[in-house]
Amino acid sequence: MITSAKNILIPTDFSDSSKNALMHAVVIAEKLNADITLLNVIEPPFNFPTNVEGVIDFLQENSEQHLGNMIEHVKSVHPELKIRIKTQIRIGKPVPQILETISDQNFDLVVLGTSVDAPNRKILFGSVSTDIILKSSKIVIAVPEFIEAETIDFSKILFATNFRASDVENLKSLAGFARLFDSEIDLIHVAQERNLDAEIRFRGLKELVTEMAIYKKTSFSLVIHQDAFKGISEFAEDHEITLIVLNRYKKSIVEILMNKNYAKKLSMYSKVPLLVFPGDLE
């Protein structure tokens, strides 16, 4: 459950996007009364074979200074802040170190900044962010670099479902998050055509969710579109969605989205945060 999260991890490379992610995490942490840990991974400089230890010491000092500056900035913006912000520095390759930290240190939620890879723009999110989203064992919230911290808004949530049993459990978790921000949830399924099978499955899910009384402010939409990504994106734009929620499992929309060139086609995904539930892996 998101609402039971007490330890939030923010991987940072000191880029503007990761600083922006921290400001979003602070808003969430205050609602949850959770601690935040800023993690910076230093990659060993193999091009300095004769003085590696000295270089790493220098990089650690530099990292500590940058981490301290990030915390001071948060305190200047939120002088009444009561949550704890801790720091951690690790040595190694960023993705394995971040994933190991998530798994081994009881973090409940990961908030990271995302930006389109430059200059080739091959994928919608940066390569490190993509790997974390695809492999994290915990919920990930990916914050696009161009969302200003002053405009943080989770009031309109889109939850895309493909009728997996785990989707219902994830919706329950999301409902707790929505209550914190008094959000509306638009539960949608994108089908390529309107046929009896799609109608039966969607109406069945709607009836189940309604009977379970998961969240009062939930609306339901069966979206017909040949491209699921475009269907979600267009719905998000038309309904002024401020958070897109996807469920990750094997061959899911998340996996395809992370690995295809949708940076130019689906600009909506670079305008609003993306929350990804780990979901099933089968």
pLDDT of residue 211: 94
- The pTM score is 0.88
**By C-alpha distance, which of 251, 241, 247 is closest to 277?**
247
pLDDT of residue 257: 66
pLDDT of residue 41: 92
pLDDT of residue 129: 83
pLDDT of residue 62: 86
Q: How confident is the model at residue 15 (pLDDT cuts 50, 70, 90)?
A: confident
Rounded to whole angstroms, the Cα distance separating 31 from 22 reads 14
Per-residue pLDDT for 65 more than 80?
yes
**Cβ atoms 135, 258 nearer than 8 A:** no
Report which secondary-structure segment, H or E, holds 25.
helix 16-32
Domain with CATH 3.40.50.620 in the chain: 2-149, 153-273
**By C-alpha distance, which of 280, 258, 273 is closest to 129?**
258
CATH number for the domain running over 2-149: 3.40.50.620
Average pLDDT over residues 202-212: 93
> 165-181 and 196-212 helices cross at what angle (nearest 10)?
50
Higher pLDDT, 254 or 268: 254
**By C-alpha distance, which of 86, 114, 110, 87 is closest to 20?**
114
236: three-class secondary structure by DSSP: helix
pLDDT of residue 120: 42
Per-residue pLDDT for 232 more than 60?
yes
Q: How confident is the model at residue 203 (pLDDT cuts 50, 70, 90)?
A: very high
pLDDT of residue 124: 47
Looking at the chain, the whole-number percentage of residues with pLDDT higher than 70 is 83
**Cβ atoms 208, 167 nearer than 8 A:** no
Tell me the pLDDT tens digit for each residue of 121-161.
444 456 788 888 888 899 999 998 777 766 788 999 999 99
Rounded to whole angstroms, the Cα distance separating 209 from 188 reads 12
Superfamily holding 153-273: HUPs (3.40.50.620)
pLDDT of residue 122: 41
DSSP 57-80: HHHHHHHHHHHHHHHHHHHHH-TT
pLDDT of residue 164: 86
Q: How confident is the model at residue 119 (pLDDT cuts 50, 70, 90)?
A: very low
Tokens for 143? Answer: 């914050």
Rounded to whole angstroms, the Cα distance separating 152 from 155 reads 9
pLDDT of residue 146: 74
Per-residue pLDDT for 48 more than 70?
no
